[in-house]
């Protein structure tokens, strides 16, 4: 059942979280864990976290997925996006604790999502499909620039050293990559 080779599709991942919410399905959790925990760890390592901390935040993220499963709404965000935002918040929380500032988990904004009723929300599945198509439309370098923005605080200078480019060049490449992404997204509308 827990075959690493079988990568579940987005809708399947959504269904696993819904199964946890509905019945506390541990088998569903195990599937999710197999898929996400190693990717969360990779993501956090790439973000510059030491291995121990990356392991810990990946674990905390998965536990939060279990606890908060009933808040998962596939019409607002797909499984990967939802889990990404949980991990993002826990990482920020972890860095604050390291600096001696304690802010409880619940005090961290989940996201600035205060959409009043009636706000025209794009369906999450549609948004995610569009985003993935648009990312595939970027050149390899543009995709790398966008990806690296998720891993580096001092986005420009670190992207510059990683790609071996002058700082000024990186600034304009980040802008160009994001303009291209926006164009690709707009074209799908």
Partner 1 sequence: MTIRHHPSDETLLRYAAGRLAPAPGRVVATHLHGCPACRERVRVFEAVGGAVLDGMSPVPVVPHALARALAAIDAGPAGRATSLEGSSTPAHGAARTAPPLLPDGIVLPAPLRDCAMGPWRWAGFGVRASALTLPEDPKASLLLLRVAPGRRLPEHGHSGLEFTQILSGSFSDAFGRYQPGDLTEMGAEVEHQPVVDPDGPCICLTALEGGVLFTGSIGRLIQPFLRL
- For residues 91 and 97, what is the distance between their CA atoms, to the nearest angstrom? 10
78 part of the interface to partner 1, by CB under 8 A: yes
Count of residues touching partner 1 (by CB under 8 A): 83
Nearest to 36 by CA among 100, 99, 79, 77: 79
83 part of the interface to partner 1, by CB under 8 A: yes
Maximum Cα interatomic distance, the chain, rounded to a whole number of Å: 54
CB of 164 to partner 1, least distance (A): 21
Nearest to 119 by CA among 75, 183, 69: 75
CB of 42 to partner 1, least distance (A): 4
62 part of the interface to partner 1, by CB under 8 A: yes
40 part of the interface to partner 1, by CB under 8 A: yes
* 165 to 42, 89, 143, 144, 152: CA distances (angstroms): 25, 31, 16, 13, 16
Site for partner 1 in 148-167 (CB under 8 A): 149-150, 152-153, 155
Query: Which residues, 6 or more positions from 97, have their beta carbon under 8 angstroms from its beta carbon?
Result: none
Which residue lies nearer to partner 1 by CB, 104 or 164? 104
**Pattern 96-135, partner 1, x by CB under 8 A:** x--x-x-x-xxxxxxxxxxx---xxxx-x--xx--xx--x
Q: 86 in helix, strand or coil? A: helix
Site for partner 1 in 41-60 (CB under 8 A): 41-43, 45-46, 55, 58-59
- For residues 184 and 137, what is the distance between their CA atoms, to the nearest angstrom? 7
Which residue lies nearer to partner 1 by CB, 53 or 63? 63
94 part of the interface to partner 1, by CB under 8 A: no
182, 183, 186, 188: which one contacts partner 1 (CB under 8 A)?
Answer: 182
């Amino acid at each position: 059942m827990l075959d690493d080779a079988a990568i579940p599709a987005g809708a399947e991942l959504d269904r696993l979280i819904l199964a946890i919410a509905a019945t506390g399905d541990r088998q569903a959790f195990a599937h999710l864990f197999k898929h996400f925990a190693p990717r969360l760890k990779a993501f956090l390592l790439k973000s510059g976290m030491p291995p121990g901390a990356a392991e810990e935040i990946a674990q905390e993220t998965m536990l939060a997925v279990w606890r908060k499963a009933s808040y998962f709404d596939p019409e607002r965000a797909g499984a990967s996006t939802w889990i990404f935002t949980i991990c993002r918040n826990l990482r920020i929380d972890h860095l604050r604790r390291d600096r001696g500032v304690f802010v409880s988990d619940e005090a961290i904004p989940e996201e600035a999502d205060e959409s009043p009723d009636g706000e025209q929300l794009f369906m999450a599945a549609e948004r995610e499909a569009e985003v993935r198509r648009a990312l595939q439309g970027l050149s390899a370098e543009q995709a790398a620039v966008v990806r690296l923005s998720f891993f580096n605080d001092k986005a420009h200078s670190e992207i510059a050293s990683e790609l071996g480019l002058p700082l000024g060049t990186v600034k304009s490449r980040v802008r160009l990559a994001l303009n291209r992404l926006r164009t690709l997204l707009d074209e799908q509308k």
